[in-house]
Structure 1
Amino acid sequence: MFLKIIRLLLFSLLLTKNILAIQDSSKTNFIIIFVDDMGYGDLGVFGHPTIQTPNLDQMAYEGQKWTQFYSAASVCTPSRAALLTGRLPIRSGMASDINRVLFPDSVNGLPSYELTLSEILKEKGYKTAAIGKWHLGHKKEFLPTNNGFDYYYGIPYSNDMDAINNFNYWDQYKGEELNSKNYNVPLIKNTSVIERPVDQTTITKRYTKEAINFIKENKKESFFLYVAHNLPHIPLYASKKFLGKSKRGLYGDVIQEIDYGVGQIIKVLKKLKIDKNTIVVFTSDNGPWLPFKTHGGSAGLLKEGKGTTWEGGMRVPAIFWSPSNIKPAIISDTGSTMDLFSTFISIAGGQIPTDRIIDGFDITKTLFDLKRTDREVTYFYRGTQLYALRYKNYKAHFITQEAYTLNNKKMIHEIPLLYDLENDPSEKYNISSKNKDVIDKIRSIVLIHNSNMIKGKNQLINRKLIN
């Protein structure tokens, strides 16, 4: 912790004071709404035929809808580490080929040498809060309040962990384990457990309430608010007001309650007259968990879902909203959740760290001026292995594997599978035999990337691995 404070003090000396932002940088607020396991096709504005999401649809209409936006990993922990550090999770050690995520018996978390977006914004005078799922370490030293957040209220890991009774995990979609008392999941405020097991039927509503309270309390301050919903990760829960309201069943009820909460946050921003000084981003940590059938989401026209490096596993819905600042548009350039790190720091008048590799791009010019992004290459990791790579509109798969179920045989492709995502977003038609020049170019990119990659020490270990 002491070393982390020293690093932050040194880093703060490098922060610039005169970078122009959309308005006075001291008044530019940032809100990230990060949902769990929502598929690319789960919102009305992204094509779902029955789930009603009027608030998110309106956000997209007034702001920017990004149609080719990617998470940095197809499962929870590495995706969240990448979001807050702007770095591929393999660099921080928050990716593993054994334990894919952190568990209640995990011993580590996000390393103290990593700089988070919240830490950098806090150094710029921002009030910071994390509401919801953390999943970057549940021990006190790894919680949000030791990673740049002034306040934390939420569940420290996935809502399906700490199961009390033995049951077939993959049968949860049948609804047999929907009593939240079957999961001994804690609710934490700052560093103290305040409820265990948490009543998950009201958790979405409570997260929204906490978010609104934070906004009201800091309406005259610059703030960064990170709202990370545990849902629609299984097991699914919705409050009484939303149960049975969706034609898509319980999953649809959950999405519609999240949409309502987003609407409430937008409403309070407008009421307080700080909407024009606030950037709101809505996106997902990865694609839908398809093995859970009706309790999993939809990837729309994309192939596969969570746990894979096919498009359905890592391309996620993304909406950027800020009245009078973000120009309304449908953006088809590629973007990444890691880009939020560099973009927010730039807008806040800060300096992106130069003492480490940052994989996120500053996309300010796209948000404000509709200029093309600089990103030509997107990396698709599963654990610590590079499974696929996108170069411009082409995507090559070196390894393919199904989601994390019992039958997930790994397939290694000596000649990579190649798809033209502009004309074939569903990845149906392998065109590698006719595009040797593209394959050669992609292989050269991989060679350079691998030669420069310094992997962080694996942090996703538990007591069993130690023993």
Structure 2
Amino acid sequence: MKSLFAILLVGLLTSPAISADRPNIVFIVADDMGYADLGVQGARGFRTPNLDRLAAEGTRFTNFYVAQAVCTASRAALMTGCYPNRLGMQGAYNHTSRDGIADEEWLLPEMLRDAGYATAGMGKWHLGTRPKFHPMRHGFDEWLGIPYSNDNTKYHPSLATEMPPLPLYDGERVVELDPDQSTFTRRLTERAVDFIERKADRPFFLYLPHVMPHVPIFASAQFSGKSGAGLYGDVIEELDWSVGEILATLKRLHLEEKTLVIFISDNGPFLSYGEHAGSAAPLREGKLTTFEGGLRVPCLARWPGHIPAGRVCDIPFIGIDWLPTLTELASGKTSTLTIDGRSVKAVLLGEEKVAAPHEALFFYSGTALQAVRSGPWKLHFAHPYITVAGEPGRGGKPSNWGKLAPTSITQSGVEGIATRHGYRIEPLELSLFNLETDPGERENLASKHPEIVARLSKLAEPVRLELGDTLQGVQGSGVRASGIDRSQDSSP
């Protein structure tokens, strides 16, 4: 009997569900937060002590990219390990959208739940609004949040009359319509803390995609007017408070050394909103562009005893890499479908002499392949891009307020979104930039380095053939269909 008990005990202690080598995972995503909105990266007048502490106690990754600089596409990449173009998911879904994440895709929460993790999400989903796309049908045990962006409401600057009330879901049930947005950060944080407390004795995955600082921005009474840097500063300081609450909970429950905490933004700042937007300095442009300011975002990771403290890492990697990385850390099951990401476990843990996981990274805007990065070099193919039309907006209104061209809310492509939010479209010629010496992408070196232009162009050719490229009229051979709800029910 003793020997049988010993065998069972050894089996339990080495089973994947309770292995000491598998961390709890807390993944926090800000919405439209700029590269320079951290204190340690040059925040303009407001304070982020908890995020700065996360950087000091872990690693700050200064060349982390999202797969596209817009909400739905960025999140689809994070959840599936695929460039969003492989999934047929671009732009930003809204209340009219019938598309969403396909049932066949293997999502991060599905992988972790299958591996024995408790899973919960609180915040903005944005991978489909219809019931079949609900997060609890794609791997989450619990959910509190909204299905799409918080400006898809009565607060929209030019289409407010077309918008239905914003639904807040608790589980699969709508519990409020048009909730007080100043309470979002606090409510999501309180539910996140409650989840950690309830699941402290087993592996857990907490996904916290905050609603803020996407416009319209709101801070609670506790933070309103307190930063000294305007409402945007108040909002960021409240998000920083939220991070502090999560870290304090992990410490109180003695879970710090058992938990990997990751913090990123889903894309760069919504620059057209001026004082209600963040900063990507010294990077060029912001959200909705394939310039660095749209794609390169804050990235912090802490796991005491595993991730080196106080390290700054400049190895480039991208949002599609999180799924294979966390699959490896969690001893999870890999997708049977083709994915584009690669595990960056060695980069994350600071192993010596680690090479960049990708020879090149590829950047789309919608269905157009606009840029490729390899090493320090970034090549932009000739393409139109958006930039702020005139002076940046004020008081929650975008640039060019009152002169916005009429467009339909059903236009979810980048150009449609840009036109509705006060941008103008400009041409960009074939351009080559050295990001090590020119992170602001100002000096075009294409004519001086034709051999590098040729090399990066060649790297893009197979990606263009597989994922498509409307700039060159190429239909991708490796594109999968997104999910679609063909029912007549129009409710979210």
The two structures share one fold, judged by TM-score above 0.5: yes
2:60 is the alignment partner of 1:65: yes
Specify the structure having the higher radius of gyration (Cα): 2
- Give the structure 1 partner of residue 326 of structure 2: 344
Q: 2-side partners of 1:80 and 1:19: how far apart?
A: 31
2:205 is the alignment partner of 1:224: yes
Matches within 5 A, 1:329-368: 329-353=311-335, 355-368=336-349
CA distance change for structure 1 residues 143 and 338 in 2, over 3 Å: closer, same or farther?
same
Q: 2-side partners of 1:396 and 1:82: how far apart?
A: 22
Q: 1-side partners of 2:46 and 2:487: how far apart?
A: 42
Name the aligned partner's letter for residue 408 of structure 1: R
Pairing partner for 2:43 from 24, 48, 64: 48
Matches within 5 A, 1:238-387: 238-328=219-309, 329-353=311-335, 355-371=336-352, 372=354, 373-387=356-370
Pairing partner for 2:425 from 396, 403, 409: 409
CA contact (8 A) 1:110 1:142 kept: yes
CA contact (8 A) 2:57 2:302 kept: yes
2:2 is the alignment partner of 1:24: no
Pairing partner for 1:418 from 420, 424, 432: 432
Query: Partner of 1:408: helix, strand, or coil?
Result: strand
Post-superposition shift, 1:31? 0.9
Q: 2-side partners of 1:341 and 1:448: how far apart?
A: 23
Post-superposition shift, 1:455? 2.0
Matches within 5 A, 1:155-194: 155-163=146-154, 168=158, 184-194=165-175
Post-superposition shift, 1:384? 1.1
Q: 1-side partners of 2:317 and 2:103: how far apart?
A: 27
- Give the structure 2 partner of residue 109 of structure 1: 100
Q: Deviations over 1:294-352 (max 9, x none)?
A: 00110110000001111001100000011111112100010212211111100011243
- Give the structure 1 partner of residue 69 of structure 2: 74
- CA RMSD between the two structures: 2.5
Q: 2-side partners of 1:287 and 1:202: how far apart?
A: 23
Pairing partner for 1:434 from 429, 443, 448: 448
Q: 2-side partners of 1:263 and 1:255: how far apart?
A: 12
Query: Partner of 2:386: helix, strand, or coil?
Result: coil
Post-superposition shift, 1:246? 1.2
Matches within 5 A, 1:144-163: 144-163=135-154
CA distance change for structure 1 residues 442 and 205 in 2, over 3 Å: closer, same or farther?
same
Q: 1-side partners of 2:16 and 2:458: how far apart?
A: 38
CA contact (8 A) 2:31 2:214 kept: yes
Post-superposition shift, 1:108? 2.3
Q: 2-side partners of 1:234 and 1:193: how far apart?
A: 22
Name the aligned partner's letter for residue 84 of structure 1: M
Q: 1-side partners of 2:176 and 2:141: how far apart?
A: 20
Name the aligned partner's letter for residue 316 of structure 2: T
CA contact (8 A) 1:109 1:138 kept: yes
Q: Deviations over 1:363-382 (max 9, x none)?
A: 11122233423223111110
Q: 2-side partners of 1:254 and 1:462: how far apart?
A: 38
CA contact (8 A) 1:110 1:459 kept: yes
CA contact (8 A) 1:131 1:153 kept: yes
2:109 is the alignment partner of 1:122: no
Query: Partner of 2:425: helix, strand, or coil?
Result: coil
Name the aligned partner's letter for residue 59 of structure 2: Q
* 4+ long deviations beyond 6 Å: 17-23, 460-464
Pairing partner for 1:445 from 448, 453, 459: 459
Q: Which range moved further: 243-252 or 356-365? A: 356-365
- Structure 2-normalised TM-score? 0.83
2:76 is the alignment partner of 1:89: no
- Structure 2 unaligned runs (5+)? 1-12, 388-417, 468-477
CA distance change for structure 1 residues 436 and 314 in 2, over 3 Å: closer, same or farther?
same
CA contact (8 A) 1:400 1:410 kept: yes
Name the aligned partner's letter for residue 50 of structure 2: N
2:481 is the alignment partner of 1:457: yes
- Structure 1 unaligned runs (5+)? 1-16, 170-176
Query: Partner of 2:62: helix, strand, or coil?
Result: strand
CA contact (8 A) 1:21 1:347 kept: no
Q: 1-side partners of 2:153 and 2:41: how far apart?
A: 34
CA contact (8 A) 1:347 1:364 kept: yes
- With a CA cutoff of 8 Å and minimum separation of 6, indicate the structure with the bigger relative contact order: 1
Among all aligned residue pairs of Structure 1 and Structure 2, give the percentage whose two residues are the same amino acid: 39
CA distance change for structure 1 residues 463 and 78 in 2, over 3 Å: closer, same or farther?
farther
Query: Partner of 2:332: helix, strand, or coil?
Result: coil
CA contact (8 A) 2:124 2:210 kept: yes
CA contact (8 A) 1:30 1:278 kept: yes
Q: 2-side partners of 1:50 and 1:290: how far apart?
A: 17
Name the aligned partner's letter for residue 427 of structure 1: E
CA distance change for structure 1 residues 86 and 167 in 2, over 3 Å: closer, same or farther?
closer
2:127 is the alignment partner of 1:136: yes
CA contact (8 A) 2:103 2:483 kept: no
Name the aligned partner's letter for residue 451 of structure 1: L
Query: Partner of 2:34: helix, strand, or coil?
Result: coil
Q: Deviations over 1:423-450 (max 9, x none)?
A: 1000010001111111111111111222
Query: Partner of 1:74: helix, strand, or coil?
Result: coil
- Give the structure 1 partner of residue 394 of structure 2: none
Post-superposition shift, 1:412? 5.9
CA contact (8 A) 1:305 1:312 kept: yes
Q: 2-side partners of 1:434 and 1:19: how far apart?
A: 57
Q: 1-side partners of 2:157 and 2:262: how far apart?
A: 37
Name the aligned partner's letter for residue 338 of structure 1: I
Name the aligned partner's letter for residue 46 of structure 1: Q
- Give the structure 2 partner of residue 14 of structure 1: none
CA contact (8 A) 1:341 1:360 kept: yes
